[in-house]
Amino acid sequence: MRLAHASNAGISEQTVRLPGGRVRMSLFWWTVIYSLTTYFTQAAFYGDSRAYTGSILDFTRGQPYQFWQDNAFWEFGHLLWRPLGWLTYKIVHPLTSRLLAPEPRVNIAIGLFGLSWVAGLASVLFLRLILRRIGIRPWAANLSTLAFLFSQGFLNFSQTGVPYIPGLCLILVSIYMLIASTDVSPNQLPNTHSSIEDAPKTNIQPDMWRISLIAGGAFAGAVCLWCLYALATPAIALTPLIFAGGTVRNRIRLGVQTCIIAGLITIGAYVAVVAHLHLFRLQDLLTWISTASHGVDHIRGVSRAVFGFARSFVNMGRDGLLYKRFLLHDPYNPVSFVQLFRLSLGKFLLFYSAVLCVLAMLFRNQDRKLLWGLAATAVPALGFGVYWQGGDMERYLAIYPFAFIALAVSLGSRRTSPRLKSFLILVVGFAVTTNCVALSNLRLERQKRVELDRIALLPSHFKHGSRVVLLHHELELGSDPLHSSAEEYALPTYPLLIPGTTGVLTWRQDFAAMALEAWKEGADVWISNRLLDDRPAARLSWVEGEDRRVSWTDIHTFFSALKGDASVGGSEGFELVSPAASNQLFLQSVLSGKANDAVAMREDSDFSK
């Protein structure tokens, strides 16, 4: 097969069309590379892996749930992920329970993590096949595939129990089917100096409905795994127009037809679930949809999206924290421009320099269709990132297929300046090294050991209903349901608040209700001693001003008004909050709406040490 971009890559058909044996050998080596990579690395961020595992476990046990509950089995945002995880659990449980672990939680996690790992492998192989089909030079195709494998968003989430990589895999399947739907006869080879407009046009295979059905079904599956993959609709619609041969009318028809089929299948799936949940009132339907936001209402902005986009490809460490403290002029942990540039801005600028190089090379090489296709794919994802949670690296996965195709085309083109190629190769090498080190087992296990040493200060066994109150992201133990011990997973943590969510408005009342209920059951309430500091430590993820509805003074003043029974571990340890009558009276006043007066009366009281 020979498609439009092969001419710009300057490759003859004989070079692109590897013998079947060499293709299989190439895929075999990519399987080995992927396996070794995931063996020596692990995820640093597990997303909602624990929540999905718990939801499936509750469903398996027959525990009732309501559609408006957070983390319900049938969720609007990830419609089919939990059902797919439950089905996988039912299939693999008889084997994994005998060979690995009998605990249902672990077996459910094995199924979810296994789905992501297999989907990650398939994604790598399909991307390599796509690059081969469009005629990219083998070395450029391999380098782009390597960059894809080691991109932070892909390498991290392919080792978790979240649906992002399975959905991405289905998008790549859809793109591959659309690209593979055309062929060129041997006597129609273009010369190596032709442009995309001069590439031979051949008829799309007559069975377009079959191709559309397979590609549309795969894309619909991606959307049902994560609704935001609907942002990849322009990529699916434009794939035949950019990469396929045939008349413009047939190529447009194939793309539109595929999107329509995907839309009908997706709507059918959602209608079936809505009927199953009996959501026949508009208010119930809107409530169900709104639960997919998980209460996030103040996490948005251009600066967050700009940094999040770079973070999706290259690990930035704690650079995001430095950027927020610099932009928001954090009074507790200020960051100057000199500090920002010295510590992290170089990495940020390097990434966007590479992005500009790729765009410039596509423009100079007259790959205008691919350039416009990349823009049509990126704009919806970037726009949504500006509107909602743009700092999350998964937000931009929908751009990945066209982004790495564009990288491969830029590297493989004869018209690209050798200096620019060398720069891109250096950036890819830098990104691969950075991400590999950041996600290495050695580094992350060392971080986990620090957290284990900290929770060792707590009682080995908690009373039923006890809670350990922490700041958001203060401890990540237990977020990995597959590799966490039973003790780590069972640690009764209570995140005090998450900036940017609706919980910021009621964190005092929520804590008061939790503590009073725990004491009523005879349980304990422990709080992190970091909550008692008069200023947040620089190592914490707190940024003053990130959510103007809450300040560190509010937190410090509130917890300083409580009396404690015992303290362990010093400033890095924990405090046992006393269930004394004075504390209960104070928290009851919080629930009754008189918290400000109560805090004002007790703000000078000492917290017993």
Same structural domain, 154 and 219: yes
* β 467-470/525-528 pair status: parallel
pTM of the model: 0.88
Same structural domain, 470 and 526: yes
Distance CA 102, CA 313 (A): 37
Distance CA 49, CA 157 (A): 10
> Is residue 609 one of the residues assigned to a domain?
no
Distance CA 116, CA 157 (A): 7
Q: The tokens of 603 are what?
A: 């703000």
Report the domain count for the chain.
2
> Is residue 129 one of the residues assigned to a domain?
yes
Q: Tell me the one-letter amino acid at 79.
A: L
**Rg, Å, the chain Cα set:** 27
Same structural domain, 421 and 448: no
Same structural domain, 421 and 495: no
> Is residue 400 one of the residues assigned to a domain?
yes
346-402 per-position pLDDT tens digit: 888 899 999 999 999 888 876 788 999 999 999 999 999 998 888 889 999 999 999
Same structural domain, 366 and 463: no
User: CB count, 10 Å around CB of 204?
Assistant: 21
> Is residue 368 one of the residues assigned to a domain?
yes
Domain boundary among 392, 420, 439: 439
Distance CA 284, CA 407 (A): 45
Cβ contact 556:562 at 8 Å = no
Same structural domain, 435 and 454: no
Distance CA 145, CA 407 (A): 10
Contacts of 386 (CB under 8 A, 6+ apart): 300, 301, 302, 304, 305
Sheet of 574-577: strands edge to edge?
493-495, 467-470, 525-528, 574-577, 564-568
Cβ contact 531:511 at 8 Å = no
The confidence score (pLDDT) of residue 293 equals: 81
> Is residue 516 one of the residues assigned to a domain?
yes
Distance CA 225, CA 167 (A): 6
Same structural domain, 495 and 426: no
Distance CA 533, CA 372 (A): 52
CA 506 to chain centre: 27
Same structural domain, 272 and 412: yes
Distance CA 353, CA 578 (A): 56
Domain boundary among 412, 439, 466: 439
What are the DSSP calls for 282-294, one per residue? HHHHHHHHHGGGT
Query: By C-alpha distance, which of 245, 24, 254, 224 is closest to 132?
Result: 24
Cβ contact 179:134 at 8 Å = yes
- Tokens 């959905």, residue located: 167
Distance CA 41, CA 477 (A): 17
Q: Tell me the one-letter amino acid at 479.
A: S
Q: The tokens of 417 are what?
A: 């300046």
> Is residue 608 one of the residues assigned to a domain?
no
User: CB count, 10 Å around CB of 471?
Assistant: 18
462-514 per-position pLDDT tens digit: 888 899 999 887 877 667 777 776 666 778 889 998 888 888 889 999 999 99
The confidence score (pLDDT) of residue 317 equals: 82
The confidence score (pLDDT) of residue 189 equals: 30
Query: By C-alpha distance, which of 117, 125, 105, 113 is closest to 28?
Result: 125
The confidence score (pLDDT) of residue 187 equals: 33
Same structural domain, 114 and 188: yes
Same structural domain, 98 and 217: yes
How far lies 214's CA from each of 134, 181, 256, 438, in Å? 20, 11, 14, 38
Domain boundary among 415, 439, 463: 439
- Where b means 16+ CB within 10 Å and e means fewer, 475-484 reads bbbbbbbbeb
Distance CA 210, CA 358 (A): 35
Q: Tell me the one-letter amino acid at 211.
A: I
Distance CA 107, CA 105 (A): 5
The confidence score (pLDDT) of residue 597 equals: 46
Query: By C-alpha distance, which of 154, 546, 28 is closest to 320?
Result: 546
The confidence score (pLDDT) of residue 148 equals: 98
CA 530 to chain centre: 29
Q: Tell me the one-letter amino acid at 205.
A: Q
The confidence score (pLDDT) of residue 97 equals: 84
Same structural domain, 471 and 331: no
Is the dihedral angle over the CA atoms 394, 395, 401, 402 positive or is it negative? negative
Residue 417 DSSP one-character state: -
> Is residue 607 one of the residues assigned to a domain?
no
> Is residue 254 one of the residues assigned to a domain?
yes
Q: The tokens of 206 are what?
A: 């007559």
The residue segments making up the domain with residue 87 are 4-439
**Conformation bin of residue 478: beta by default, left when phi > 0, alpha when psi is -120 to 50:** left
- Where b means 16+ CB within 10 Å and e means fewer, 543-559 reads bbbbbeebebeebbebb
The confidence score (pLDDT) of residue 326 equals: 87
For the chain, residues with pLDDT lower than 50 are 1-17, 184-203, 595, 597-609
Termini Cα distance of the chain: 75
Distance CA 311, CA 351 (A): 9
What are the DSSP calls for 462-480, one per residue? PPTT-EEEE-TTS--TTS-
Same structural domain, 177 and 269: yes
The confidence score (pLDDT) of residue 193 equals: 33
Distance CA 172, CA 591 (A): 51
